[in-house]
Amino acid sequence: MERVCFTLQVRPERLDEYKQRHQGVWPEMLRALSETGWHNYSLFLREDGLLIGYLETPDFQNALERMEALEVNQRWQREMAPFFKGLAGRPDEGMMRLEEVFHLD
């Protein structure tokens, strides 16, 4: 299982709305994530807007490609894009993946 950690930057003035949106993620989006290999997926948000994402998946590149092909993901990415700073495209294209340097197993 591949462990993936990434960062994005949420606009500080939109933090509350960003958190609210994630309290009601669309059921079809939740299903899509699960069905395309996004497991144990979590998001953590610092008060300055630093967003840390973590997930486990058999193949991250495959999981990204499978999500990209889904209409529900296209809609979600369009709606979420205005929440982020420094993006040239969609949030799922702007994730800055972090290198894993230690894992206690």
User: Annotated active-site positions, please?
Assistant: 22
Q: What is the sign of the dihedral through the CA atoms of 30, 31, 32 and 36?
A: positive
Tokens of 19: 């958190």
Q: What is the sign of the dihedral through the CA atoms of 61, 66, 69 and 73?
A: negative
**Best CA proximity match to 9, nearest among 38, 52, 42, 63:** 52
